[in-house]
Structure 1
Amino acid sequence: MRAEVLSATPTLFRDDLVLDEGANTALLTWLHGRVDGVFVAGTTGEFPALDRAERRTLAGLALDVFGADRTIVHVGAASTREAVSLTRDALAAGATRLAVITPYYLPVDADTVRRHFAAVREAAGDADVYGYLFPDRTGVTVSPAEFAATGLRGGKLSGAAAARFADFRAALPDARFWSGADTDVAAVARGGGAGVVSGLSSAFPEPFTDLAAAVEAGDAEAERTAQSRADAVRAALGGTVEGIKEAVRQRGFGNGRLRMPAPAPPVERIAAYARS
């Protein structure tokens, strides 16, 4: 089965940093047909800087363009109460696939994580719920064995968790796992993963979808070419939210503004890649 490429879309704002519904819809519409689906209101989407109403709006925009089968709505929050509320909002908007990050900021143990996920799973009913592990950002490490006890359908593995992709697959062989490491498409596909959740593909989808197709076809030369292009995208954008938003701006969507403080993006480096 071909590994899928889900774009982790950035959230686009107006100059006054109000949510820009038109720009977000335009980006989603452009991505439709170029990637296999979208992951909305995640890390690339600056979810800690979004309020509940904005996240409900973003879910609705993505579902309108991609439909429920090709949209994963991130409902994670620092508090279980907020995550449950976001889950109910996503379901009301028509979502059937949800992701929830571990609790963050306060230190937690494995039982706390399990209870947090269980509350979201209960609120989600028949919807598919996937965990989102990003220990580098949350400070929370969940082992494959601990994750197996959560009862979730699988998860998105980013940072240090992505480096243990094979261990998670071995612990839950029937679950679906995506890597947050954009350029690891080939390794994920060969390891039986579902695919990648890629922020970089929001600006330059083709290298990543071409790589997935080449691996599926067993075309070694096409794979090498696509891998080189995917690696070049990562080098140009730096794998950062500010780099992704600047690249999206250069593609004609939004103004590149972030709500969350971040370094200046590599404008010229991104432009040079786009011209190459």
Structure 2
Amino acid sequence: MPAHTPRADVLAAVPALVDESGEIDTAANRALLTGLVGRVDGVFVAGTTGEFPALHRAERRELVGLALEIFGPDRVVAHIGAAATRDAVTLARDAVALGASRLAAITPYYLAVDTDAVTRHFAAITAAAGDAVVYGYLFPDRTGVAADAEEFARTAAETGLAGAKLSGAAAGLLAEFVAALPPGTPLWTGHDSALAAAVRAGGRGVVSGLSSAFPAPLAALADAVARGDAEAERTAQAEADEVAATLAGSPEAIKYALARQGIGTEVMRMPAPLVSAERRDRIDRLVAAVGAPVA
């Protein structure tokens, strides 16, 4: 009999949908979140896919509150990270006041920091979070803060961080983080199609931008891995790889894919490359092939 593996989490890293003038589109965000219920295990709100540096405090409150209303506190990870500790602390208090029980915070970014500065940053956040759990968010490619498993383990022990999301170069270090942290510490990869490898390395699952627009392939992959069904896993992995290659991990492509499914616009808050005609054609074909839209 094939070995069975605990089923991986698939957390959709949702974009912040805006209207043609760039204002938060509450109806579109509600439609997106409602359409994901029962198709993913939860949502990661106001993260990189959500263009968090371009969101105002009130907008982050609105998006987190909407997710909590639709998914409930156990299935929402509210990203409250900011470059300034003061701002991250304020956002943490906002999220907890809304009822969030799971928070994530990216490391500081822009100015160079050392391990002590990062530890002080996270200590202030966990203190403000009270009983809510806080996960670190490591994305060295974007923040300039190196991902080191041993250093993170010391920081987590000192500050009470409960786990981490590992993106970019950090995702390739997941096994090192598993070895450095206490057994059972939840770790998610931000590498969308690497769910199977992450789970087998001891990770909890994936925080996936692509699953915002195409949740079925990642859910099927998680199911196949959990069942130990090698044939189903190969099929689902190929589908997940195709989605990942088509969207190329970009929020602008994810927004375009959602717009083609009737959810929101493709307007970005942050400057981003235009989705090329070739990629639009690939996304259009994918929308037609994968089946029913998210909504």
The counterpart of 2:185, out of the listed 175, 179, 190, is: 175
Q: Is residue 173 of structure 2 the alignment partner of residue 164 of structure 1?
A: yes
Q: Which amino acid aligns with 2:126?
A: R
Shift of 1:264: 1.1
Corresponding residue for 1:236? 246
Corresponding residue for 1:190? 200
Q: Is residue 269 of structure 2 the alignment partner of residue 274 of structure 1?
A: no
Q: Name structure 1 gaps, 5 residues minimum.
A: none
> Which residues in structure 2 correspond to 1:114-153 (within 5 Å)?
114-151=119-156, 152-153=161-162
Residues of 2 paired with 1:129 and 1:214: CA distance?
A: 30
The counterpart of 2:53, out of the listed 48, 54, 63, is: 48
* Contact map agreement 1:27 1:253 (CA 8 A) in 2: yes
Q: Which amino acid aligns with 2:27?
A: G
Question: Moved runs in structure 1, 4+ residues, more than 4 A?
Answer: none
Corresponding residue for 1:260? 270
Residues of 1 paired with 2:120 and 2:234: CA distance?
A: 43
CA deviation vs aligned residue, 1:130-186 (integer Å, no higher than 9, x gap):
000000001111311111112311000000000100000110133100000010110
Residues of 2 paired with 1:19 and 1:4: CA distance?
A: 28
Q: Is residue 17 of structure 2 the alignment partner of residue 12 of structure 1?
A: yes
Q: Which amino acid aligns with 2:31?
A: A
Shift of 1:267: 1.5
Corresponding residue for 2:85? 80
Q: Which amino acid aligns with 2:122?
A: F
Corresponding residue for 1:227? 237
Residues of 2 paired with 1:238 and 1:167: CA distance?
A: 26
SS at match of 2:110: coil
Shift of 1:248: 1.1
* Contact map agreement 1:110 1:142 (CA 8 A) in 2: no
TM-score by length of 1: 0.99
SS at match of 2:165: strand
SS at match of 1:149: helix
Shift of 1:237: 1.1
Q: Percent identity?
A: 61
Residues of 1 paired with 2:175 and 2:147: CA distance?
A: 14
Residues of 1 paired with 2:142 and 2:261: CA distance?
A: 28
SS at match of 2:10: strand
Corresponding residue for 2:38? 33
Corresponding residue for 2:212? 202
SS at match of 2:104: strand
Q: Which amino acid aligns with 1:98?
A: L
Residues of 1 paired with 2:208 and 2:123: CA distance?
A: 27
SS at match of 1:209: helix
Shift of 1:247: 0.7
> Which residues in structure 2 correspond to 1:90-129 (within 5 Å)?
90-129=95-134
The counterpart of 1:58, out of the listed 41, 54, 63, is: 63
Residues of 1 paired with 2:54 and 2:110: CA distance?
A: 15
Query: What is the root-mean-square deviation in Å for CA atoms of aligned residues?
Result: 0.7
Q: Which amino acid aligns with 2:146?
A: T
Residues of 2 paired with 1:63 and 1:109: CA distance?
A: 34
Residues of 2 paired with 1:263 and 1:273: CA distance?
A: 20
Residues of 2 paired with 1:155 and 1:189: CA distance?
A: 14
Residues of 2 paired with 1:158 and 1:110: CA distance?
A: 19
- Further displaced range: 148-157 or 53-62: 148-157
Residues of 1 paired with 2:13 and 2:43: CA distance?
A: 6
